[in-house]
Amino acid sequence: MNYKLNEAKMFADVTDGIAIIINSLTGVYYGMNGLGTGMFDALLKGSSDADVLAAFQALPGAPADCEARLQAFIEKLKAFEIIVPASVASTAPVSLVLKDAVYDEFTPACNEYNDVQELLFADPIHEVKEDEGWKPEK
């Protein structure tokens, strides 16, 4: 399967090795880790998911579940509507950076930045009592 950027909705740029995507309609902002950026870049250049998987599996130290990790990443990109299926393919070789893969523990990631969600998931909510103030539970 081949994919391309969903140009009807998304703007994308790779700066300093990190992919940034913006939904031009909603303003929601996405950032990828280094491994995810390498895979995303390869997909946008016309490589198929099979080509990206082969390059992923060829990395020294790659885990046994490479295919599941890649598919989870691609499903996330599709769910965010960042990529859509494409008919144009490329035979250019896929090159993933081992250092990025090791740093990212062989897990490509795409994060949606949303202040409210980040706060809700970052930490439990603590109550502050008027008389004794807020004390974190140890």
Q: Which spans of this chain sit near another protein (rule: CB under 8 A)?
A: 7, 10-13, 15-16, 20-22, 24, 26-29, 31, 113-116, 118-120, 122-123, 125-128, 130, 132-136
- Kindly tell me which of 30 and 106 has the beta carbon lying closer to another protein: 30
The residue whose two tokens read 């009592």 is 129
Instruction: Supply the minimum distance, in Å, between the C-beta of residue 77 and another protein.
Output: 16
Instruction: Supply the minimum distance, in Å, between the C-beta of residue 92 and another protein.
Output: 18
Burial grade of 130 (CB within 10 A; 0-12, 13-18, 19 or more): exposed
Instruction: Supply the minimum distance, in Å, between the C-beta of residue 60 and another protein.
Output: 32
- Kindly tell me which of 3 and 106 has the beta carbon lying closer to another protein: 3
Specify the length of the chain in residues. Answer: 138
> Cα separation of 97 and 80, whole Å?
25
Instruction: Supply the minimum distance, in Å, between the C-beta of residue 65 and another protein.
Output: 30
93 DSSP 8-state letter = P
> Cα separation of 20 and 88, whole Å?
23
